[in-house]
Chains A and B, each alone.
Chain A
Amino acid sequence: MSPAPRARRPVAVVSFAQAHNVRREDERNEVEMLMPVVAEVFANIGITKDDVGFICSGSTDYLVGGPFSFVTALDAVGVWPPRPESHVEMDGAWALYEAWVLLQEGEVDAALVYSFGRSSPGNLAEIMALQLDPYTLAPLWPDPVSLAALQARALIDAGRATEADFAAVAARNRKAALANPKAQVAHDRTVEELLGEEYVVAPLRRHALPPITDGAAAVVLAAGDTARRWCERPAWITGIDHRIETHAPGARDLTTSPSTALAAERAGVGDGPVDLAEVHAPFASQEGIVLEALGLGGNGGAGGAGAGSNGSNGSNGSNGSNGSNGSNGSLVVNPSGGALAANPIMTAGLARIGEAATRIWSGDSNRAVAHATSGPCLQQNLVCVLDAAWEGA
């Protein structure tokens, strides 16, 4: 394989804002949800819409059932005078990737990235089934919970995780979410308590499922001196990559995430110590798979996929068993509570990057990894390495 490309132009995440994640936005439409978020992401660093030369968004019209809802959403920004704008029918993390590529080209120095997802207008289980292969899979309407349950079952059958591991992941994320004012689901419950819940789809109990969320998020990316001017301690993107696996879940080993592993390698996750990870694992059963693929958790043995299963304090106790990343066991996983605290479709991945960047700005992290996923059972994955220091060319 060719050497992994590295970021050449220093580009950083310099601002982040998100809506209060809620089960149902009864009153506001997408534009009304986005407007305060976009206003906040600019106000945080004292800039206006006129300071960004590119705008990229991520959303899907299937959620609200309105054609071109992504076009009308631009009304929340006010794109006048006109400027380059783009949209991906994907999580905003991929919109951020597109903006990062454009910033690499050097024509613009700053970009706005936003995403929104209102799941409440429709039936999310049915809508998500429509992202599957339209000939052989979608007509069976497999819902995302059932698909995730197949994956969880495969993990258990392989001896790689237990139901208690899933409960521990859920307990840790939702406890961390108590400190996240934008979280939708946050509580402090014991693993034993969670294991007493009924199955939704075995082996997944209620706690292992993400909430259904209406939400929106926005990020500002800036290059070089612009980033330094707007942010005291920019979160430099030293590597970012995304990879996809086959659209046929039956053709994959669902207990691993080779696309995450490849993206992590290309993004240079292992090039230095990682002290914080924000991973987009909507189901509690998926977090261990992602951490292992990132080289941040798994030890390959029984229970290895349940990274963090021993910690209710937000640290990942099994970290360090894979020494390739040079981390020393102080890895913090999902201080925001992750997608188990709030899972706005098309938005939760971008929020992971924003949450990780927030910890770089505050000094809580020096080198963080943010991850976003899309598709059934972690089919497609994006990995972004954020560093407090820029040591590029």
Chain B
Amino acid sequence: MLDTPIHLEYTFTPGIAQSRFLRGLAEGRFVGQRCPVCGKVYIPSRGSCPVDGVPTGEDVALSDTGIVTTYCVVNVPFAGQAIEIPYIAAQVLLDGANISFMGLIQGIPATDVRMGMRVQAVWVEPDELGPTLASVKYFTPTGEPDAPYETFEEYL
């Protein structure tokens, strides 16, 4: 048998819109962008509205609170796992955003996570912030009442 390893290196270009999102993370805040046609706010924006196909030029500063729209409890160990199981991977819809993104939920037993649960981002220490989602350690429950299902059913 002959091994023929293949290794390629790339320089990643996030693009103009996504660079704004990443720079926001380095400052400890979430920056989305609004579609000028339908008004939806995307985070992170890839530069276009995927519904209307137009540039999303306007930056929108979003709060770091939101709701869990859906989640899964990870019980299966896998290679490279950095977090102790069981843990919660959730789709988090930030207040003011029209699209959710994946985040970890901690500070709560895995059995207690719920759809509609209010959460807030916990950021790394200021000197550890960088242009990466690793700037967000995880989301943790705020203790506010759960959001009614009707308020997020569109985002499932």
**A residues apposed to B, CB below 8 Å:** 25-32, 35, 38-39, 49, 62, 64-66, 72, 74-80, 118, 120-123, 126-127, 130, 138-139
Partner of B10, one of A30, A64, A130: A64
Q: Are A26 and B13 in contact (CB under 8 A)?
A: yes
Which of B51-59, B72-80, B88-96, B138-146 interfaces with chain A?
B51-59
Interface window among B15-23, B112-120, B129-137: B15-23
- A-B contact count, CB below 8 Å? 90
- Say which residue of A75, A80, A122 sits within 8 Å of B48 (CB atoms): A75
Residues 39-76 of B, flagged 1 when their CB comes within 8 A of A and 0 if not, give 00000001111111111000000000000000000000
B151 interfacial by beta-carbon distance below 8 Å:
no
Is B4 interfacial (CB 8 A cutoff)? yes
When distances are taken between beta carbons in the complex, the residues of chain B under 8 Å from A35 are: 47-48, 53-55
User: Are B8 and A29 in contact (CB-based, < 8 A)?
Assistant: no
Contacts A49-B53, A78-B48, A78-B54 given: A32-B6 contact, CB under 8 Å? no
Could you tell me the distance between the alpha carbons of A80 and B19 in the complex, rounded to whole angstroms? 26
Report A-chain residues with C-beta under 8 Å of the C-beta of B2.
139
Query: Which B residues lie within 8 Å of A29 (CB)?
Result: 13-16, 18, 46-47
Known: A35-B53, A38-B53. A65 touches B10 (CB 8 A): yes
Tell me whether A126 and B8 are in contact (CB under 8 A). yes
Contacts A35-B55, A64-B10, A123-B8; is A27 near B15 (CB within 8 Å)? yes
Q: Is the interface of B mostly helix, strand, loop or mixed?
A: loop
B153 at interface by CB-CB < 8 Å: no
Neighbouring B residues of A26 by C-beta, 8 Å: 13
Q: Report Cα–Cα, A127/B6, bound state, in Å.
A: 10
- Quick one: which of A72, A75, A122, A130 contacts B53, CB cutoff 8 A? A75
Measured between beta carbons, the chain A residues less than 8 angstroms from B46 are 29, 31-32, 72, 75
10 A-B pairs in the complex with CB atoms less than 8 angstroms apart? A27-B15, A29-B16, A32-B17, A32-B48, A64-B10, A75-B48, A78-B51, A78-B52, A79-B50, A122-B8
Q: Which of A32, A39, A66, A78 contacts B49 (CB 8 A)?
A: A78
Distance between B147 CB and nearest chain A CB, rounded to angstroms? 26
A146 to B108, CA, bound (A): 60
Show the binding face of B for A, using Cβ within 8 Å: 2, 4, 6, 8-19, 46-55
Distance, CA A122 to CA B8, complexed state (A): 7
Q: Which residue on chain B has the smallest CB distance to residue A74?
A: B50
Tell me the complex Cα distance, A103–B13, Å.
Answer: 36
Contact assessment for B8 and A78 in the assembled complex, using a CB-CB cutoff below 8 Å: no
> In the complex, A30→B12 CA distance in Å?
11
- A-chain residues with CB within 8 Å of residue B4 when the two chains form the complex: 138-139
CA–CA, A66 and B13, complex, Å: 11
**Nearest B residue (CB) for A49:** B53
Q: A75-B46, A78-B54 are in contact. Are A28 and B15 (CB under 8 A)?
A: yes
| Inter-chain contacts of A49 with B (CB < 8 A) | 53
Out of B10, B50, B55, name the residue touching A121 (CB < 8 Å): B10
Shortest distance between the CB of A48 and any CB in chain B (Å): 9
A76 touches B16 (CB 8 A): no
Say which residue of B10, B16, B49, B51 sits within 8 Å of A122 (CB atoms). B10
**Distance of A118 Cα from B14 Cα, bound (Å):** 13
> Nearest Cβ distance between residue B52 and chain A, in whole angstroms?
5
